[in-house]
Amino acid sequence: MSDLLAGKTAVVTGGSSGIGRGISLALAREGADVVVADLQEAPRTGDTTPTVEAIEERTDADAEWVETDVTDIDSLRNAVDHAEAWGGIDVMVNNAGITGGSDFLDADEDDYYRITDVNLKGVYFGCQAAAERMVANGSGSIINISSTGADRGFEEPGATLYCATKGGVRSMTWALGEILGPEVRVNAIQPGFTGETGLAADNHDAEAEAERAAETAMGRSGRPEDLGNAAVFFASDLSSYITAESLLVDGGWVHTGGP
């Protein structure tokens, strides 16, 4: 641990599982206390040790799980409020997201709102809840989790809505970088296919995963810790002159691979 985030407090939505868990652990390893804001406390896949327990066992940081529904604005504000126990929010990671759904021609309003309420509304109001405190405090870093789907479409049920929301997250990030600077930096991370996540488990196809891995320049799927390392960069002073940026963490897939 290099203590890049010593004295900082982070809120990570969807922080119990998958990418969110990887980010929560990475921030804690660098010294940040973490509010794990999620609907459930235990991970959905892999190691079932609750993320809060893993943080407290493996790092010197403190952590708390706060039951959070990102489609509910008051619930998001409550998660941010819990950061006050450690001096207030310094880092907000809007990670919670879902996929799946119907084919484009079969989708209805219920499909539309199920995806957009989590992937777009949840990020928008997560940014708002954090920014209110950060602007008042004079500093902060917001990190939004977008997707390679913001750059490239793919053919799976629900992909149109998923890509639309993730493109919206990226564009929102650019706008907020202008609106909230210079006090608050706002950046996005675009994961490629990442194993060991709830989304991956829900749509797991070992053969398809191997094919995707082979299409990347790095020859493998992403891991939650890969996204955690990127989040540490954006959360820390290493990126103090970077805002309104979107970083692909996809093994090179968007620019070098794919079908």
Six-digit token pair at 110?
């219920």
Q: Check 112, 113, 124, 162 and give the catalytic one.
A: 162
- Look-up: residue for tokens 């922080």? 15
Matching residue, tokens 């060991």? 196
Residues 129, 121 contacting (CB under 8 angstroms):
no
* 19 to 94, 97, 190, 193, 195: CA distances (angstroms): 11, 10, 11, 11, 9
Cα–Cα distance between 80 and 129 in angstroms, integer? 7
Active site residue 113: no
Secondary structure of the chain as H, E, C letters: CCCCCCCCEEEEECCCCHHHHHHHHHHHHCCCEEEEEECCCCCCCCCCCCHHHHHHHHCCCCEEEEECCCCCHHHHHHHHHHHHHHCCCCEEEECCCCCCCCCHHHCCHHHHHHHHHHHHHHHHHHHHHHHHHHHHHCCEEEEEECCHHHCCCCCCCCHHHHHHHHHHHHHHHHHHHHHHCCCEEEEEEEECCECCCHHHHHCCCHHHHHHHHHHCCCCCCECHHHHHHHHHHHHCHHHCCCCCCEEEECCCHHHHCCC
Q: Which residues are catalytic?
A: 162
